[in-house]
Structures are given as C-alpha cells and as structure tokens.
Homo-oligomer: A and B are copies of this chain.
Amino acid sequence: MTSTYRPQGVYSPVLTPFNADLTPAPDRFVRHCRWLLDQGVGLAVFGTNSEANSLTVAEKSGLLDTLLEAGVPPERLMPGTGACALPDTVELTRHAVKAGCSGVLMLPPFYYKGVSDEGLYRAFATVIDQVADSRLRVYLYHIPPMSQVPISLALIDRLLKAYPGIVAGVKDSSGDWSNTAAMLERFQPQGFDVFAGSENFLLANLRGGGVGCITATGNVNPGPIVNLYQRWQEPGADELQKGLDATRAVFAKLPMIPAMKAAIAWKTGRNEWATVRPPLIELNGDQRTQLQQQLDGVGFVLPKADLLA
C-alpha cells in the first residue's frame, strides 16, 4: 500500500490526439493532460471519449508511460483498462497499478451480448485475481448505450462483498438517474464511490452523496464543471448546473468526440486536433458551423487554448 489517494471530483476521459496518419500524438496528449490537471480535472485516460477501444493495448501502454515520464502525477490518473479479452485487461490494469494510478475504470468484456451476471462476475474476478495487487482500485464502468453489456446492481453487490476495498466505485453512464440514485442509496454508504457519467447529473449526484463526475466535456469545459463541484453547497448551484447543461447540449447534439476535437481545433487553430480514428469521422463543414455558432451562443471559452496547440 503506497497511496491512500482516493479519486473524487471531476475527471475527464482524455481525448486522444492523433496525427494526420492516425498515429497517436504523444506530445499533444501530454499537453492536454497538463492543461486538464491545471484546471482541476483528473485524468480518466483511455475512456470511451478517448477512442480507447480504437487503440491497441501497446498504444495505451505506451501513452501511459509517456505521461509518467513527463511527470504527470500517477495518483491523478484513472486509466480505462477493460477490454474484450481478459488477458488484455489484466495486462493494462497491472501496468496501471504498478505505475501508481489511484484507480482503473473497467469496462466489462463487451463483444458477447446477453451474458449472465455470473459470467460478468467471473470476468471481473478473474482480472482482480490475476492482477493480485492490494493497491488495485477498480471503478466499474456502466455504459450500456455503448457497451450493450450492463453492470447490474446485483452484480455490484456481489463484487463488493467478494472484493471489499478493491472494488472501489462506478462510473454510471447509463443516462438513467434512477439507476444512479439506486447506486448512491445502496452502495455509496459502503464506501463505493459513485461518479456520474456526465456533468448533467453532477449536482444531483453530489446531493445524493456521490463523489463527482467523469465527463467527456471535461475536455473542453473544465473550469465551469470544476466550479460547480467546488460550490455545489452554495446558493446558485442550480444556476451553475444549468450553465453546464447548456454547453453540454451543444456538443451532445453532434457526434460528441468529433465535436470536442473540432472545438479544440477551432480554438487552437490546429487542424490536426480534429483527427479521429475510423470508424469515427470528423465533423463536416455544416456541423462545424453549427458547433461554432452554438458555442458562441452559450459564451463558450477555451481558456489558455495556446497551451493545447
């Protein structure tokens, strides 16, 4: 046990910048991570919005090493490590734990659909048993709209009983507040930390006893989201929430990942930022125009954009 840092607050699945030839751009990745940390946002690298599942295990491992070598504090890292093949999940998770990351965000294996809770239990248990490190902190990643493999409350209950301390929390990206509320009620009192899957539910989650959010738009709107996290108990918190919702809605009307990358490309003047890996595609001209007009409409600012260029 080397660290007792417990993740909380605002995290973002860090966008993965690519070069024009679709290879990852490690320098811009480091700069983006530093920029996020500077604004109080933790680094959930290799999440859905990082295009993590379009990266190989070796690419993710290499990018993680790049961050560590650049001096990014490992306790602020919560890498996504869940893959379809359990040995891949074990490899990346082990790497993250040895590096001192304070947690990992773990998708269930997501190719086979309609699998049982027993099968998912065995999947997570196999990874935990094979990593075999008491420093491991697993945050379960519940994102049925994308994975199509939900993590049920019964499964969480069973994992918590079997691996207390190791199974540390959840990111709930179901978009279903009643599910988040149930997790808060049943599991947060046991020290199982509930992160909302977007800032839309940040205030509600904090009021319900949750610890923060892990949100895509933390990549582009970090300041205001962190501001709500810091002031959620003050008067005016509901107004702050409305402001966050308005900005997020602009991105959510478009394909989210290309839209966030387009916003950064726009504000930094660096077109490479717009690059995504197939099967995603960059915004077209009409979408870019819509994005820019609507972001102007909500008073969007990308602070210190020059640091990201």
Closest partner residue, chain B, to A126 (CB atom): B278
Alpha-carbon distance A113/B145, docked complex (angstroms): 8
State which residues 56-80 of A face B: CB under 8 Å.
56-57, 59
- Decide if A115 touches B280 in the complex (CB within 8 Å): yes
- Decide if B279 touches A123 in the complex (CB within 8 Å): yes
- Decide if B56 touches A87 in the complex (CB within 8 Å): yes
Stretch of A4-12, A103-111, A240-248, A266-274 that contacts chain B: A103-111
- Decide if B280 touches A119 in the complex (CB within 8 Å): yes
Q: Does A298 contact B (CB under 8 A)?
A: no
A145-B113, A146-B112, A148-B148 are contacts. A85–B279 as well, Cβ < 8 Å?
no
- Decide if B84 touches A278 in the complex (CB within 8 Å): no
- Contact residues in B for A278 (Cβ distance below 8 Å): 86, 109, 119-120, 122-123, 126
Q: How many copies does the complex hold?
A: 2
Per-residue CB contact flags for chain A residues 244-279 toward chain B (1 = under 8 Å, else 0) read 000000000000000000000000000000000111
Closest partner residue, chain B, to A91 (CB atom): B56
Q: How large is the interface on A (under 10, 10 to 19, 20 to 34, 35 or more residues)?
A: 35 or more
- Decide if B86 touches A54 in the complex (CB within 8 Å): yes
- Decide if B281 touches A118 in the complex (CB within 8 Å): yes
Partner of A281, one of B122, B126, B279: B122
- Decide if A146 touches B111 in the complex (CB within 8 Å): yes
Per-residue CB contact flags for chain A residues 142-167 toward chain B (1 = under 8 Å, else 0) read 00011111000000000000000000
The winner among A22, A84, A86, A147 for most chain B CB atoms within 10 A is A84
Per-residue CB contact flags for chain A residues 88-117 toward chain B (1 = under 8 Å, else 0) read 100000000000000000001111110110
Alpha-carbon distance A145/B281, docked complex (angstroms): 24
- Contact residues in B for A122 (Cβ distance below 8 Å): 278-279, 281
A/B interface sample: 13 pairs, CB < 8 A: A22-B126, A48-B111, A56-B57, A56-B88, A59-B85, A111-B146, A112-B146, A112-B279, A113-B146, A113-B148, A118-B281, A122-B278, A122-B279
Counting from the closest, the 10 A-B pairs by CB-CB distance are A53-B111, A119-B279, A122-B278, A123-B278, A115-B279, A53-B84, A119-B281, A123-B279, A56-B85, A109-B279
